[in-house]
Structure 1
């Protein structure tokens, strides 16, 4: 091809794409519109190649939908809109880092639950089990609420939100909180005090249960931190490629 003219296959090959994908990106506004030959063939340039490199670098940093919106904004000459989208991604990454730090601290602070007061009303009976529960160390809603310094209604609200899953005493119908339920309630309490939403806490507690407790979850925390670090580095790479493309467009 003369000069810096490129065929669709030339752009596609660098990124392991099909030529149809390149044409789709152009139609979607991810790439600038290509000139057409008298016979209708697209003629891409080095600028298109730089745009595709920027888009490919933005995907791991911001996700495919946001990367698409960033490139579309650039090609509408709405650079401020593109920068706002990037700022929002950075803000989300910072919030995710804060959440991770909060969860780690909550796990660190989560000491084994205290032994129930055998003399307290509604607490475990002789042998450490609530009568009729068959579970050592089980406790009712009142004693657990007092231990956490919250209202019983709060525990019931957490149950409705899917945070807690206490069993029912077959004789009385009262809620019976096992040692695992107490652990989950304490962790939920820590995270609520840190300002996290119930739906966010429900996801974490599901991970705790799936991992079989808090200790196995440490590995998941390390993986989470690794993903956040990878996304932060991807944002740097994406910013570099986008900056190069914006300069090439001037």
Structure 2
């Protein structure tokens, strides 16, 4: 429900149509990009004047700015889908969807930090056997939930030689001790950074070498930097996302 924005003037309320060039200047996208993003459904179709020219509103500008931030936070495909949903959801549902992205980014950051801690623990290990409490171990279901991956993903990592759980009980159920948990956290962080299985295998195999440890630490540092940039992109889009949500509810845009 994308209505005309209302600007208060001395003479009262009036509608303010915008040209494609105006939207381009205000949003930071080129004229062609504005048209392309309209075609992709990032913004609703512009009204057409009698002479066939597109006529936009400030709601379109807010949507484009919101898309830029969302795309930086979750990627362009997910951002397009999310914006389409925000335009039809209630304020409560839309706000919850946006909060979920913040929570996801915070969780990714926490997991990257835990991976760094696991790396530090590996660096500090000596030849002294590592004794574990039974409560330190995890089942495959518990570890998958902690890493926000599927149990099948952990099985695949095992097949690829990235994580080696213990096997206990007559049913040979998987049991992940501290070393395996640390390895799984590092693998999850490396995979989240975009590294393929062969590259991850090489990095995991080099953790017993000083240069391997340092390279992995640099990668995890870049992972944290990427998450920080995605978080900043989402924060910058905050006011525009609020405008999208409230205009979808037929309420005044947040200014």
Quote the Cα distance in structure 1 between the aligned partners of 2:34 and 2:218: 40
Quote the Cα distance in structure 2 between the aligned partners of 1:56 and 1:40: 28
Quote the Cα distance in structure 2 between the aligned partners of 1:157 and 1:99: 20
Quote the Cα distance in structure 2 between the aligned partners of 1:83 and 1:21: 27
Partner of 1:97: 109
Q: Secondary structure at the match of 1:29?
A: coil
Quote the Cα distance in structure 2 between the aligned partners of 1:102 and 1:242: 31
Aligned equivalent of 1:25, options 37, 61, 65 = 37
Task: Decide whether the 8 Å contact of 2:163 with 2:183 is kept in 1.
Answer: no
TM (norm. structure 2) is: 0.59
Going from structure 1 to structure 2, the CA distance change for 1:5 and 1:224 (only over 3 Å counts) comes to same
Q: Secondary structure at the match of 2:162?
A: coil
How far did 1:213 drift?
1.0
Going from structure 1 to structure 2, the CA distance change for 1:224 and 1:234 (only over 3 Å counts) comes to same
Q: Secondary structure at the match of 1:213?
A: helix
Partner of 2:216: 217
Q: Which has the larger radius of gyration?
A: 1
Task: Decide whether the 8 Å contact of 2:69 with 2:233 is kept in 1.
Answer: yes
Task: Decide whether the 8 Å contact of 1:148 with 1:186 is kept in 2.
Answer: no
Partner of 1:7: 19
Alpha-carbon displacement from aligned partner over 1:126-148 (angstroms, at most 9, x marks no partner): xxxxxxxxxxxxxxxxxxxx979
Q: Secondary structure at the match of 2:237?
A: helix
Partner of 1:109: 121
Q: Which gives a bigger RCO, structure 1 or 2 (Cα 8 Å, sep 6+)? A: 2
How far did 1:243 drift?
1.0
Q: Secondary structure at the match of 2:39?
A: helix
Aligned equivalent of 1:51, options 55, 63, 71 = 63
TM (norm. structure 1) is: 0.60
Partner of 1:228: 227
Quote the Cα distance in structure 2 between the aligned partners of 1:164 and 1:247: 47
Superposed counterparts of 1:162-201, under 5 Å = 162-163=161-162, 188-192=180-184
Alpha-carbon displacement from aligned partner over 1:59-94 (angstroms, at most 9, x marks no partner): 212221222112212333555554454344233213
Quote the Cα distance in structure 2 between the aligned partners of 1:147 and 1:225: 29
Partner of 1:160: 159
Alpha-carbon displacement from aligned partner over 1:184-205 (angstroms, at most 9, x marks no partner): x98545344x7987x9596755
Alignment: residue pair count: 195
